[in-house]
Structure 1
Amino acid sequence: MITIDYQSKLPLYEQIAERFQAMILRDALPPGSQMPSVRSLAMDLSINPNTIQKAFSLLEQRGYIYPVRGRGNYVADTARLAEQEKASLLKEVNNLLIQGKELGISRKEFIAVVDMLYGKEDTND
């Protein structure tokens, strides 16, 4: 479910939060579903429960989960957050395209990169 890269410079709690955030945005964890308990996830990953709690606190601050007293944490309705993430990413891509154009990267080169990442057969989306 969650994998951790112990060689990464990113703190463990941030890695955990990012993995869950990605699963939530992909609907692998749909709204209203219960998150694993802090204790069980800490045991599964063999890390300190405080690290899991810190990751869950970060997810709560970002609006991805919400706590229910005495019952655990649940996935929030993130449709609005997903749209904001997409908009932010597209803005970032736009800025990169502008920088690339200024550096002389051609449209054909950009399209080749997109085709490589998405595959040429995926042109209907």
Structure 2
Amino acid sequence: MLQLDFRSRVPVYEQLTEKIKELIIHKVLKNDEQLPSVRELALELTVNPNTIQKAYRELERQGYIYSIPGKGSFVKPREKLENSPQKEELMKQLQKIVAELVYLGVPIEEILEIIEKTKKGGSGA
């Protein structure tokens, strides 16, 4: 389910955080679905349990999961992000990326096509 690149310069917990976010965004992991326990995932991926715990804490901080003491971690149901700081930051990043693509000569139609593919669940690339 999850594959990590141990030779990458990106820390393992960040790779794990991004991969789990991807699974949640693409609805592979459903609302309120329980994630593997820290110990279970650490054994499966052969990483230190503290690394898994750090990734889970980061996912919880970002609002992707929630935890119930003694029960585990679960996928948080998606909420509308009307005026959240996370939405504002992502919008700034998107604006910067679009500006760079336009500067590099990518037609706006191609950018919109990627957005549409992504919206429909495609990879966008």
Aligned mates of 2:26, 2:80 — CA distance in 1 = 13
Q: Do the aligned partners of 1:35 and 1:74 also contact (CA within 8 Å) in 2?
A: yes
Quickly say closer, same or farther: Cα 1:98–1:69, change in 2 above 3 A: closer
Choose from 101, 105, 110 the match for 2:107: 110
1:57 Cα shift? 0.3
Query: Identity rate of aligned residues, in percent?
Result: 35
Residue deviations 1:20-40, cap 9 Å, x none?
001001111011000000000
Aligned mates of 1:46, 1:110 — CA distance in 2 = 44
TM-score by length of 1: 0.72
Q: Once superposed, what is the RMSD of the aligned Cα atoms?
A: 3.1
1:57 is the counterpart of 2:54: no
1:79 Cα shift? 4.3
- What residue is the counterpart of 2:99 in the other structure? 98
Residue deviations 1:29-64, cap 9 Å, x none?
011000000000000000100000000000000000
1:80 Cα shift? 3.1
Quickly say closer, same or farther: Cα 1:80–1:9, change in 2 above 3 A: farther
Q: Which consecutive residues of structure 1, in runs of 5 or more, have no partner in the other structure?
A: none
Quickly say closer, same or farther: Cα 1:90–1:37, change in 2 above 3 A: same
Quickly say closer, same or farther: Cα 1:112–1:46, change in 2 above 3 A: same
Query: Deviation above 6 Å: which 4+ runs of structure 1?
Result: 84-88, 115-118
- What residue is the counterpart of 1:48 in the other structure? 48
Aligned mates of 1:61, 1:115 — CA distance in 2 = 31
Q: Which consecutive residues of structure 2, in runs of 5 or more, have no partner in the other structure?
A: 121-125
Aligned mates of 1:86, 1:26 — CA distance in 2 = 18
- What residue is the counterpart of 1:8 in the other structure? 8
